[in-house]
Amino acid sequence: MTYTLAEIAAALGVEVQGDGSIQIDRVSEPATAGSWDLALAMKPDFAEQIGNGAAQAALLWQGADWQSYGLKGAIMMDRPRFGMAQLSAMMDQGQGYAAGIHPTAIIDPTAELGENVSVGPFTLIGAGTVIGANSVIASHVTIAPRVRIGEGALIHPGVRIMANTTIGARAILHGNVVIGGDGFSFVTPEKSAVEQVRSTLGDSTGTRAQAWARIASLGGVEIGDDVEVGANSTIDQGSVRATRVGSGTKIDNLVQVGHNVVIGHDCLLCAQAAVAGSTVIGNNCVLGGKSGVADNIQIGDNVIIGAASAVLSNVPAGRAMLGYPAVKMDTHIETYKALRRLPRLLREFTDLKKTVSKNGLSD
């Protein structure tokens, strides 16, 4: 799809600078941009690379001297990276999934599909399931019975959605996502070593080896509107109440959300983050990559968990956490700096000790 620079500026709600008739058919990094590309030079360091390419136009920060970069036109925004959200949507050509119902798809007669729903090859849709209008379901997707999916969903190949799952409008589920698998919930006839260690902080004396009995998952999953789940991520269903993910939350690849977890709206869960069972996470929280949250933890609104951190206790609203175990970010950084100084301090202490010992002997 080709747009004029003026059309792009209008879509972004700003005025075009220079020649608005320039034809644009894709976006590019400044150094590799061609004459039909819109160079993404959103800060001065990026703009310095414009001369290495052949771009006629660029997306720049507000107040940039666009003509000094040899451009014929420009779009300037206070927050150009935010403009990329709409700009990239305009340029996205999609995956090319075919419209209509593929003849190899298996759809239960009691399933209800809204208008303009597309279903790809070898996809299975179970009894009593409801799919909202304008949804696109790619190939090799399994949707179990008693599932409800809102309008405008985009479900990529290999996704598995288990029974008793409700998903809101405009969901995006990437390849091999599993929603509604059984929670990891097991119990022993007597108090287990794990329970003993947890209560005593390390002593498992008095417990014996036992077999684990499985607790069935009955609670389902409830996902709000405008939620995106990255490839190979899993959201387990609750034991007796639903696992819930709030509207607007975005989940990266390889993320695990345990049974009974409640996640608020507009949260970000980055790659390899894991949330253990029955934890409650507030609104507008961020879990950095490879971070982990223990079970039965309460995390308030607007909390940021740094990458590779392990949250083992409740976190109040508005706090930034880092480390293992996670503590306030400034505390962790102070502690880390102190640890780095320890070898030098130890050497100084050793030298001082030798000096004191020598002085003592000379007396």
What is the total residue count of the chain?
Answer: 363
Q: Output Rg (C-alpha) for the chain, integer angstroms.
A: 27
Residues 6+ apart with CB under 8 A from 13: none
Q: Say if CB 167 and CB 185 are below 8 A apart.
A: no
Q: Which residue in the list 102, 140, 174, 259 is annotated as catalytic?
A: 259
Whether 265 sits among the annotated catalytic residues: the reply is no
Give strand ranges (E) for 108-242: 112-113, 118-119, 124-125, 130-131, 136-137, 142-143, 148-149, 154-155, 160-161, 165-167, 172-173, 178-181, 186-187, 213-214, 221-223, 228-229, 234-236
Q: Say if CB 91 and CB 28 are below 8 A apart.
A: no
Q: Alpha-carbon distance 237 to 163, whole Å?
A: 9
Q: Say if CB 169 and CB 150 are below 8 A apart.
A: yes
350, amino acid identity: T
Sign of the CA dihedral with 324 first, then 330, 335, and 340 last: positive
Q: At 251, which helix (H) or strand (E)?
A: strand 250-251
Residues 6+ apart with CB under 8 A from 170: 150, 151, 152, 153, 225, 226
Q: Say if CB 126 and CB 108 are below 8 A apart.
A: yes
SS3 assignment, position 136: strand
**Which residues are the active-site residues?**
259
